[in-house]
Structure 1
């Protein structure tokens, strides 16, 4: 246990961002951090991941804040009262997209929500997303992002705006990116692993998804062929980041081995 002798109440892993959230009892925080943060640094070095340490009280406060924030989003975007918004949040809905696109029965299962209510909620959610996407598309055009980038599978209107804000305007510009450009990367600064932000930090995009979008775009612009993407079963797929000279940070130990408490994977936002 890299945070010993502190007692660890819970460990939550985010595999996409390589971040570990550690929850400790309120009276164990100083023990977990260690003198001048030495325990956190050791655990981070062993796992190769960033580590956030929270007390149980801080985690509870954060959850309450997230609940209140999501409730306000549903009230504003769906034009519903606080009770309906709280019910949606309590059932684990986190975004307007989830309300719009989940199967209808995932909404009607909520006590007091019949088919008519569920259909109306999905209609309002869809209309909100349509208005939002229209505004984003106008911003994309104002930034000078080419229409052809809309044909790249996986790129959303919000992502296209993010590309434009980072001087990526054409298919060729996007094809010249590497996954790290989109999802971020780590550099050693004063013997500490420091994360550098990516263009898609605000989106739930994994390194594999970023690589797929980039490679498909390279096919679209003729840099490679679809046959080049077919890798024999006995050969590992090439990392486009390595092909462009970027190197990843190897992990010396698995994140699970660093902590005593069993981990919970949070690659996707769970429904409570």
Structure 2
């Protein structure tokens, strides 16, 4: 039925029906009808007129009128009226007022009716999209159930009832076959407003999806007694979650596993057979790493405090188990703990330590001009660089067995001389590369770093100031592996990198201020 040609009762009935069907406010439908009637009337009486339409939401009565502004000199006869003519219509009219000129009801032709119908459809569709966005925008992070509606280029479109969601190919569980009509659960990860309607992105591969599933199966997690501190997934294959209990009387791992594995099996079935390792979380990094590498046994953990790398030593027969198929076990453990984990056998670790011991001993022999025994003693006491020898407390070095203050002072003096010789060598190389002295005055930059900058063509303050922090030090925690980081091998922190860049840009700000 065409709403424009309907009678009064039918107008209201149509508005109510459309509002119920699209789950929107009936006033939005009535306003759309009013706009459609206004457009049709302007097409009939002239688009230059300011025509208004009003439908009574209760009775359905339609009023149509033209609005005219009261002016002293009429310039636009379609929208203005003289004061004398206005007072003839309304005695109290004065300059600046608006008077209304009632118009008779009009019969709409086929073209006008079709245009009006399109206006209503457009308005209702916009209102429906806005309703969908408002309904789902605050539901990010919720699990929702829908029915597979169609598959487009590998992406699954899910009917959520009052909207559609999309599970992109990279957010699906690999090798899981979903067909049209299948019921599927997923996690709402993003709701975005777009011209063609709100885009609701869902995921079955997100780690938070597993967390939500465990919260649904394990009452202790839902109640907050047990917390999932970390989660790492290789969707469809294997996953690890780290849990901790706020109540010492409750075993977090046992609670998540459930009686005869009932709770974890319910999650496994939902995730298409994904194997799940549940491990206890620990605030101590070494303990957490050992737990994360289960079921492999760990002999030793070596943590580099200045880096995020962790060396894990395992027995020879545990190496393949610790690494896992295609590196899966160690990769998931690294994702779970947030550290780069290097696995090595006891034999390889012993060989590496021996090699480091020899290299450091030779460094001290060469630079400090001491015999092999004294050099090896320094290495055995934990000294790894000339800087550590030069800057350690004199009293602390003198406490080493066989040392006294005189020997300790002499070693520190030689270490300082060696450092100065090394810096002088770097300084000469830096100047040969054409790196200006102004760069050497920036706090945090050593001569070795300046040589590296010169090798990469960074020779002036402006050259350095033009760099971003990421270009200077690399991105993320694995800066050694980012080739774009010019000084990545020096393991400079993000804050120090920012400070160096800002110091290089200081002269720009001073010039602007001047």
Pair in the same fold by TM > 0.5:
yes
Secondary structure, aligned partner of 1:135: helix
**Structure with larger RCO (C-alpha < 8 A, sep 6+):** 1
Q: Which of 77, 85, 88 is matched with 2:375 structurally? A: 85
Q: Which of 421, 441, 453 is matched with 1:163 structurally? A: 453
Question: 2: distance between equivalents of 1:224 and 1:210?
Answer: 23
**Aligned counterpart, 1:199:** 486
Question: 1: distance between equivalents of 2:491 and 2:380?
Answer: 22
Larger fraction in strand: 2
**Aligned counterpart, 1:211:** 498
Corresponding position: 1:75 with 2:362: no
Q: Which of 10, 14, 25 is matched with 2:315 structurally? A: 25
Question: 2: distance between equivalents of 1:143 and 1:4?
Answer: 51
TM-score normalised per structure 2: 0.40
Following superposition, the deviation at residue 103 of structure 1 comes to 2.1
Is contact 1:78-1:125 (8 Å) kept?
A: yes
Question: 2: distance between equivalents of 1:47 and 1:118?
Answer: 41
Indicate how the Cα distance of structure 1 residues 179 and 56 shifts in structure 2: closer, same or farther if over 3 A, else same.
farther
Following superposition, the deviation at residue 155 of structure 1 comes to 0.7
Question: 2: distance between equivalents of 1:17 and 1:164?
Answer: 25
Structure 2: tracts of 5 or more residues without a match: 1-290
Structure 1: tracts of 5 or more residues without a match: 188-192, 226-272
**Aligned counterpart, 1:41:** 331
Corresponding position: 1:146 with 2:431: no
**Aligned counterpart, 1:135:** 425
Of the structure 1 ranges 138-147 and 10-19, higher mean CA displacement relative to structure 2 is found in 10-19
**Aligned counterpart, 2:471:** 181
Question: 2: distance between equivalents of 1:128 and 1:108?
Answer: 20
Following superposition, the deviation at residue 194 of structure 1 comes to 9.7
Is contact 2:324-2:330 (8 Å) kept?
A: yes
Question: 1: distance between equivalents of 2:419 and 2:429?
Answer: 15
Following superposition, the deviation at residue 183 of structure 1 comes to 2.8
**Aligned counterpart, 2:350:** 60
Of the structure 1 ranges 151-160 and 119-128, higher mean CA displacement relative to structure 2 is found in 119-128
Is contact 1:26-1:57 (8 Å) kept?
A: yes
Query: Could you report, residue by residue, the CA deviation over 1:221-272 in whole angstroms, capped at 9, with x for unpaired residues?
Result: 32899xxxxxxxxxxxxxxxxxxxxxxxxxxxxxxxxxxxxxxxxxxxxxxx
Is contact 2:292-2:337 (8 Å) kept?
A: no
Secondary structure, aligned partner of 1:80: coil
Indicate how the Cα distance of structure 1 residues 77 and 213 shifts in structure 2: closer, same or farther if over 3 A, else same.
same
Secondary structure, aligned partner of 2:407: helix
Question: 2: distance between equivalents of 1:117 and 1:49?
Answer: 41
Q: How many residues align?
A: 220
Indicate how the Cα distance of structure 1 residues 80 and 50 shifts in structure 2: closer, same or farther if over 3 A, else same.
same
**Aligned counterpart, 1:249:** none
Is contact 2:390-2:412 (8 Å) kept?
A: yes
Following superposition, the deviation at residue 215 of structure 1 comes to 2.1
Following superposition, the deviation at residue 218 of structure 1 comes to 2.1
Of the structure 1 ranges 43-52 and 141-150, higher mean CA displacement relative to structure 2 is found in 43-52
Question: 1: distance between equivalents of 2:451 and 2:475?
Answer: 21
Question: 1: distance between equivalents of 2:327 and 2:304?
Answer: 22
Structure showing greater Rg = 2
TM-score normalised per structure 1: 0.72
Query: Could you report, residue by residue, the CA deviation over 1:191-232 in whole angstroms, capped at 9, with x for unpaired residues?
Result: xx993133223324222222222223222432899xxxxxxx
Question: 2: distance between equivalents of 1:213 and 1:203?
Answer: 13
Indicate how the Cα distance of structure 1 residues 224 and 36 shifts in structure 2: closer, same or farther if over 3 A, else same.
farther
Is contact 2:480-2:489 (8 Å) kept?
A: no
**Aligned counterpart, 2:508:** 221
Secondary structure, aligned partner of 1:23: strand
